[in-house]
Structure formats: C-alpha cells, structure tokens
Amino acid sequence: TWTMVNIVEEQVERIRAEVGTKRVICGLSGGVDSAVAGALVQRAVGDQLTCVFVDHGLLRKGEAEQVEKDYVAATGTTLKVVDAQERFLTALSGVTDPEEKRKIIGREFIRVFEQAAREIVAEAGADDEEVEFLVQGTLYPDVVESGGGTGTANIKSHHNVGGLPDDLQFTLVEPLRELFKDEVRRVGEELGLPAEMVWRQPFPGPGLGIRIIGEVTAERLAVLREADAIAREELSRAGLDRDIWQCPVVLLADVRSVGVQGDGRTYGHPVVLRPVSSEDAMTADWSRVPYDVLATISNRITNEVREINRVTLDVTSKPPGTIEWE
C-alpha cells in the first residue's frame, strides 16, 4: 500500500542522511524486528551494512536456514554467520536453573556478537573505513516504555542483556522507532522478506533453551525441534496462526513415562503443548484448539518422534502460569 511505500522511502532517506558513508552492523536474531530493521538499512546503504547472525543452536527447525539463505536472497545483504552452537552447549552443560540458563545464554550471546563486531571493525579498518553504527530493531512501544530517549549502544535486543564494552561503542540506528508491530510486519512484506520471518509469532531470545525442562543437550534440542515443527505445521494447516498468539512446545526432559509404541513398551518423555491467546503477552488464556487438531498433533508427534510417547495440553491461564515454562 502507499503508506508502507512512504514509510520505506522516508526511512531510507533518513538512514542515508544519518549514516553517510560510514559502515553499519546489524545483528539478526531470526525475529521480525531485526530482520526488517536490517532490510531497511540494506535498502538505504547497501554494502555499507554487514549483518551478523549468531547461531546459538537454540532456534527452531528451519529458522537458521531462513536467515542464512532466504533472508540473504531477499535482501542481498552481506551476512557474517557465527556458528556458536558448541560454545552455547558447553556453557549450558549441567545447568537446569531457568534464570541461570537465561544469564548464560545472554552472556555468551554478547561475547560472541562482540567478537564478530570486532572482526568486522578490524576488516573495515583495512579499507580505511570506519564502522560506526549499530542497527537496533527498537519499536515505538519500546521507546515509550523506556522514556523516549535516544539510546547509546546497548544490545538489549531480544536477550534483554547489558551493553557492549566501552571500547566498542556505536551510534544506534533505529529505523523502527516510530512503528508498531503490525506496521513493521507490513514494511517487511513491502521489502519482500520471507513470510515465515515477517509473520513469526513471538519467540523468546533464549529460544528452545528455556523450553527444555532440565539440562539442555544437543539430543534433547533435536527431539524438541522435531516436535515443535510438527505442532507449528499442524496449527498453520488448521489456519490457527492468527488466532493463537504463540504455542510453545515444552520438553519435560527429566520426566519419563511408560508407553506402547510400534512393537513394544517404551519409556519416553512427555511434551507439553502450550497454545495461548493474548493481546500483549502480559496476560493470556489457554487457546481452545479444536480437538481434532490436537489429536493430529499428538498422533504425529508420538509417531514421528521416537523419544516422545506422550503429548499433554497446558490449560493454565496467565496469571498464574507464565506463557513459557521457564
């Protein structure tokens, strides 16, 4: 629509004026805000932008590929991918406490991103160009909430962690500062971003790390990723994406129960489906997903994911239950 075209053109002009000939870095998380912010900056200053994607191994099935392939194809952006999966698994090894997990994931994320930023700065230095700007996908509601001031370099992003060290300071570019979420999505569509990214439901920064109750391991992540993909596929197929705010799938990795699957007795794990309806995630109600959709999800998960022999439904509102289990 003409309004979206106007917003894009206006922001592109603004970014060009702000950035000039300097270099820009943008961290991509897989989520819509950073994707749209990065695409706007790319449209404005092209090769002056380098995007960074830290693959912490906690994204859902297909999401890393979406960033690395589809997003790059759609935007033509220069992308630096850091495969940090081993590093995150090592840091999370033996950890079961939810807050501890969040702290570790946030801390490692900052360290890895910082290293990548340093490398980009160093490489740019060779070209005698200066990296000076960092893109943030700050939305209007975030601006209002934080009192409206212009930020200094602070990778709050989706990890809600502190800023970069003093010797690595950037000026922020925040092209989404005046937009609400639905406008951001429409700008993303206007820019031709992959639909899965543009319409992605909320997903926490710590990712699947806080949807495995118990220690996070590579095997458990693989199991949860499969179960989650099936739930997402069936909810989409049933046309429920817009009705449901989000549907975490939670792996109770330390719980086992007896089942009969295929040829015999199994001793597997349960997953919990947590579909919720919400306006703003502050409160939520459990979604009344049709029984036949639940049945299909349950059948498919227990048939296709060997380690899971039971599927349960969370029927708790928020409050008292939070949306995520950790």
Residue 150 lies near ligand XMP (rule: CB under 6 A): no
Q: How far is CA 104 from CA 29, 129, 139, 157, in A?
A: 17, 34, 26, 16
Shortest spacing between CB 249 and ligand XMP, in angstroms: 12
* Part of the chain binding ligand XMP (CB under 6 A), chosen from 50-58, 65-73, 198-206, 213-221: 198-206
Residue 246 lies near ligand XMP (rule: CB under 6 A): yes
> Of these, 152, 169, 261, 322, which contacts ligand XMP (CB under 6 A)?
322
Residue 25, Cβ density class (10 Å: 0-12 exposed, 13-18 middle, ≥19 buried):
buried
Shortest spacing between CB 14 and ligand XMP, in angstroms: 26
# residues contacting ligand XMP (CB under 6 A): 13
Shortest spacing between CB 245 and ligand XMP, in angstroms: 7
Residue 136 lies near ligand XMP (rule: CB under 6 A): no
Residue 34 marked ligand-binding: yes
Q: Taking Cα atoms as reference points, which of 294, 216, 232 lies closest to residue 56?
A: 216
Residue 305 marked ligand-binding: no
Residue 173 marked ligand-binding: no
Structure tokens at 257: 């129960």
DSSP string, 187-237: HHHHTT--HHHHTPPP--TTGGGGSEES---HHHHHHHHHHHHHHHHHHHH
User: Three-state SS for 66?
Assistant: helix
**CA 286, CA 298: separation in Å to the nearest integer?**
17
Question: Site residues for ligand XMP, window 203-222 (CB under 6 A)?
Answer: 204-206
* Part of the chain binding ligand XMP (CB under 6 A), chosen from 65-73, 225-233, 295-303, 317-325: 317-325
Q: How far is CA 177 from CA 1, 37, 140, 282, in A?
A: 20, 10, 5, 22
Q: Give the phi and the psi of residue 35 in degrees, each rounded to 5.
A: -65, -45
> Of these, 98, 151, 163, 202, which contacts ligand XMP (CB under 6 A)?
202
User: Three-state SS for 294?
Assistant: helix
Residue 277 marked ligand-binding: no
Name the site residues for ligand XMP (rule: CB under 6 A). 102, 158, 160, 202, 204-206, 246, 281, 318, 322-324
Residues belonging to the binding site for ATP are 29-35
Residues belonging to the binding site are 29-35
